[in-house]
Structure 1
Amino acid sequence: MTAALLSSLTDGAAADRPDALSFAGRTLSREDLLGAAGAVAHRISGAECVAVRATATAETAAAVVGGLLAGVPVVPLPPDAGPVERRHILRDSGAELVLGGESGQAGQDGEAGEDGDTGVASVPVDLRERADHPERTVDPDRPALILYTSGTTGAPKGVLIPHDAIAACLDGLADVWQWTAEDTLVHGLPLFHVHGLVLGVLGALRTGCRLVHTGRPTPEAYASAGGSLYFGVPTVWSRVVRDPGAARRLAGARLLVSGSAALPAPVFRELEALTGQRPVERYGMTETLITVAARADGERVPGRVGVPLPGTRTRLAAVEDGGGIGELEVSGPTLFSGYLGRPEETARAHTADGWFRTGDIAALDPDGTHRIVGRASTDLIKSGGYRIGAGEVENALLDHPAVAEAAVVGLPHDDLGQEIVAYVVADGVTEQALIDFVAGQLSVHKRPRRVRFLEALPRNAMGKPQKKLLEGM
């Protein structure tokens, strides 16, 4: 329920301060945010669904909180979405309004305008407006957020995220990371994903901690923020370790958290060397929020994403000899309630007994710690009767001092079924040297059979290698 999800904000449970929230240097108090969000909530009351142009600004925070207070599902729109993607999301979700439109999209003097060529009304968000937040009970069947997938297997799908799932995720992370109102959270992540919006904004509001959004996640911005808790994706941490001076200034932080993709083992070790602490990794998806995380008081090992959050269960499907890995399936309170308007796809995403099929290939260590070794569609390689996770081979390659980037795929092979092929960005090393290096690090059957050298790996907006493009190179 909304009241429970935002209790720290609406009940005044967290101590307020003038700079409780900061977005690219622009500050406001929780009272200011609640007043502006209350005005948004009254304006959109009765709407079936609203979209929010999710720029990295305080207006986005006020718009999302306003939707939660009003009990109206919120659809975060990527601010750089092209017209085709934008039209699809607005039409598929049925959003009646777009909040916080670009300059020139809204009408004059705060009047509603129109959002580009979509025909959806665009309503500005004014942080100077004030209204008491509505006291209402939210229909438990209505989602809090509708988050759209990246569309890698077709048109983006709307993922229905319940209020209670968000609360369970944030409370679970507060437990495993010892996350409290005494923390200062720092990040510079986009506000249309789980990482930046749910964890990075709603997490701060729920725990009552101070939030500093740096605008852009540069090493200098992170180093200057003075936080105790930092969120970043591997690209951010890779840039941080390439700026040793900035990295050393993070030594006073309590936790450095990495997520959204696998953190390369060399970056993990460089962060430890420069800051004196090992980063915390975690695992989740849009459909599951965060389900597995390394504990603040537990062991942190490169490539290990931790143990299930309280109330979450995991299991591996189709584990066979010759690998000990399988597709990760998840059950628990953080899961989505379905894909919007796609009951058949919702059913296909679940097992007969109701567990969600993540599509990720994982291994479980004896102590219950999880290792994610790739996607079932691209990263599970079946070679010579063995099941091999591409991520494990990639980490081994990245341990070589000459290798800057690495991506591994399985390509058809007449004898082996699939052969392991590595695409690397590297200087001063031969193909055979890298093959031998991996064979010395891992089991011999996990070595690449071929290595192809590139100037750069093709990557998507989140920094993940686009392996389908590699297969044609």
Structure 2
Amino acid sequence: MSREELFGAAAAVARDIAGARAVAVRATASAGTVAATLGGLLAGVPVVPVPPDSGPVERAHILGDSGAELLLEPDPAGAPGWSTDDLALPVVPVDPARRADPAYTRTAPEPAPDSAALILYTSGTTGAPKGVLLSAAALAADLDALADAWAWTPDDVLVHGLPLFHVHGLVLGVLGALRTGSRVVHTGRPTPQAYAKAGGSLYFGVPTVWSRIADDPASARALSGARLLVSGSAPLPVPVFDRLAALTGQAPAERYGMTETLITVSARADGPKQAGWVGTPLAGIATRLVGEDGSAVPHDGESVGELQVSGPTLFDGYLNRPDATAESMTPDGWFRTGDVAAVAADGRHRIVGRASTDLIKTGGYRVGAGEVESALLAHPGVREAAVVGRPHDDLGQEIVAYVVAEGVSGTELTDFVARSLSVHKRPRRVLLRDELPRNAMGKVQKKQLADD
């Protein structure tokens, strides 16, 4: 679709939903979803993307909690598995071939920059998903900062195959292209072959996507003409980073962010890219490390603390959850990410993991699970690894590793880690698994790992 065609389709949606308090969209990977989302932005109506594969309980919570008054349906065949009787709100079909006069977008009232543009729901790992309120101003600030960091211009062709109900696929992968004026090609599914055929200059992917591409040398080499490969949503394993760099001729750029903060830290297109590090803060973003006692943690590249963030990309709170909003902020206005990180003297950030699951206190030491996972993944027989702390009578917590591997025993892997890291960082137990549970963005769901 041309930009003019897209805005014509979006204007038609905007006319349909004008005045609504909020609208939900069944966010399939389709032109209809893009037109629906853009239509909401043009009309100044908050858009609530709903995962197309969401179950009835999750779906009912999102639709009810968000206050959506309409459900925009981008698929002419309707929603497989979705009962319209259970939705309790009108369904409005979205036809991307339908047009309204694009002049409507110039005569309609300009939405207030601080009004909610999107309501994105968190994964709900600690309870029911929470609605994150993101303003147009926050989206614009983040996309402009990323355009600067990644040298993103209208001459680029962005390629990705990510879901359109998360920050990565929808905000960066669609709104980012619209903001910069670049073309975007959505591959439907993020397969190595689809990425290889797309002929882009800029590629987005999550670690699972990049791992599969790295395992397909022909597809990986086809990306050698791209100027930037970006990985996010979860840590990129060092072996995958190295294989991509060798096959494509360039190291991938990693970045870090959350739904509540958008993207705040990233490697730059013109800067160094180092495995295990996610770059430096974007323009306008400030970060700090705080210890458990509230003291500042030194930026020496080794000391770890909770990462806190401040800047114009922060959310405006959790919908209908003032208690959770207040809990997420410090008294002086910084967002508590809940992630543990280390920061080098030159400002480069390394994310260790979640404070709740990835900071392990064992025998008086504080160990980041991510460091141990990276050490395990350096073994040629290991494909996946997830490290957690389990209660231990003597140590407080013991380091337990869940590993997908071939041709290697747990004892051998424990010894392997002890040769590359301090002995106290070695796993006390290594449990071999056929696979690790992951969510739609490729993040390991550590709370689903059963200890035995």
Q: TM-score, normalised to structure 1's length? A: 0.90
Identify the range of structure 1 (304-313 vs 117-126) with the bigger mean alpha-carbon deviation.
117-126
Give the alignment partner of residue 122 of structure 1, picking from 82, 91, 105.
Answer: 91
Q: Which residue of 2 aligns with 1:341?
A: 320
Structure 1 stretches of 4+ with a deviation exceeding 3 A read 101-106, 113-116, 319-323
Segments of structure 1 that go 5 or more residues without pairing to the other structure are 1-27, 107-112
* Residue 147 (1) aligns with residue 147 (2): no
For residues 316 and 191 of structure 1, the distance between their equivalents in structure 2, rounded to whole angstroms, comes to 32
* Residue 438 (1) aligns with residue 411 (2): no
Kept after mapping to 2: 8 A contact 1:410/1:418: yes
Would the alpha carbon gap of residues 449 and 73 (structure 1) be closer, same or farther in structure 2, given more than 3 Å must change?
same
Q: Name the SS of the counterpart of 1:408 in structure 2.
A: strand
**1:104, CA displacement in angstroms?**
5.1
Identity of aligned residues (%): 69
The residue type paired with residue 119 of structure 1 is A
Q: Name the SS of the counterpart of 2:352 in structure 1.
A: strand
The residue type paired with residue 422 of structure 2 is S
Identify the range of structure 1 (136-145 vs 44-53) with the bigger mean alpha-carbon deviation.
136-145
Kept after mapping to 1: 8 A contact 2:28/2:74: no
The residue type paired with residue 248 of structure 2 is T
Map residues 345-364 of structure 1 onto 2, 5 A cutoff: 345-364=324-343
Kept after mapping to 2: 8 A contact 1:188/1:217: yes
* Residue 167 (1) aligns with residue 167 (2): no
Q: Name the SS of the counterpart of 1:65 in structure 2.
A: helix
Kept after mapping to 2: 8 A contact 1:105/1:115: no
Cα-to-partner distance string for 1:251-285 (whole Å, 9 max, x where unaligned): 00000000000000000000011111000000000
Kept after mapping to 2: 8 A contact 1:409/1:471: no
For residues 40 and 295 of structure 1, the distance between their equivalents in structure 2, rounded to whole angstroms, comes to 36
Q: Name the SS of the counterpart of 1:63 in structure 2.
A: helix
**1:103, CA displacement in angstroms?**
4.2
Q: Name the SS of the counterpart of 1:159 in structure 2.
A: strand
* Residue 61 (1) aligns with residue 30 (2): no
Q: Which residue of 2 aligns with 1:289?
A: 262
Q: Which residue of 1 aligns with 2:162?
A: 189
For residues 149 and 383 of structure 1, the distance between their equivalents in structure 2, rounded to whole angstroms, comes to 30
**1:142, CA displacement in angstroms?**
2.4
Give the alignment partner of residue 421 of structure 1, picking from 374, 383, 400.
Answer: 400
Q: Which residue of 2 aligns with 1:78?
A: 51
Kept after mapping to 2: 8 A contact 1:186/1:212: yes
Segments of structure 2 that go 5 or more residues without pairing to the other structure are none
* Residue 453 (1) aligns with residue 432 (2): yes
The residue type paired with residue 92 of structure 2 is V
Q: Which residue of 1 aligns with 2:64?
A: 91
Give the alignment partner of residue 405 of structure 1, picking from 384, 395, 408.
Answer: 384
Kept after mapping to 2: 8 A contact 1:251/1:275: yes
Would the alpha carbon gap of residues 114 and 120 (structure 1) be closer, same or farther in structure 2, given more than 3 Å must change?
farther
The residue type paired with residue 306 of structure 1 is G
Would the alpha carbon gap of residues 381 and 320 (structure 1) be closer, same or farther in structure 2, given more than 3 Å must change?
farther
Q: Which residue of 2 aligns with 1:314?
A: 287
**1:410, CA displacement in angstroms?**
0.7
Cα-to-partner distance string for 1:3-25 (whole Å, 9 max, x where unaligned): xxxxxxxxxxxxxxxxxxxxxxx
For residues 266 and 382 of structure 2, the distance between their equivalents in structure 1, rounded to whole angstroms, comes to 28
Map residues 180-329 of structure 1 onto 2, 5 A cutoff: 180-318=153-291, 324-329=303-308
The residue type paired with residue 124 of structure 1 is P
For residues 72 and 84 of structure 2, the distance between their equivalents in structure 1, rounded to whole angstroms, comes to 10
* Residues paired across the two proteins, number: 440
Over the residues paired in the alignment, what is the CA RMSD in angstroms? 1.7
**1:114, CA displacement in angstroms?**
8.5
Kept after mapping to 2: 8 A contact 1:435/1:447: yes
The residue type paired with residue 124 of structure 2 is G
Q: Which residue of 1 aligns with 2:14?
A: 41
Identify the range of structure 1 (131-140 vs 261-270) with the bigger mean alpha-carbon deviation.
131-140
Q: Which residue of 2 aligns with 1:373?
A: 352
Map residues 92-107 of structure 1 onto 2, 5 A cutoff: 92-100=65-73, 102-103=75-76, 105=78
Q: Which residue of 2 aligns with 1:23?
A: none
Cα-to-partner distance string for 1:170-199 (whole Å, 9 max, x where unaligned): 000000110000100000000000000000
**1:471, CA displacement in angstroms?**
4.2
Kept after mapping to 2: 8 A contact 1:101/1:122: no
Q: Name the SS of the counterpart of 1:164 in structure 2.
A: helix
**1:388, CA displacement in angstroms?**
0.9
The residue type paired with residue 95 of structure 2 is D
Q: Name the SS of the counterpart of 1:339 in structure 2.
A: coil
**1:399, CA displacement in angstroms?**
0.2
Identify the range of structure 1 (415-424 vs 211-220) with the bigger mean alpha-carbon deviation.
415-424
For residues 64 and 373 of structure 2, the distance between their equivalents in structure 1, rounded to whole angstroms, comes to 40
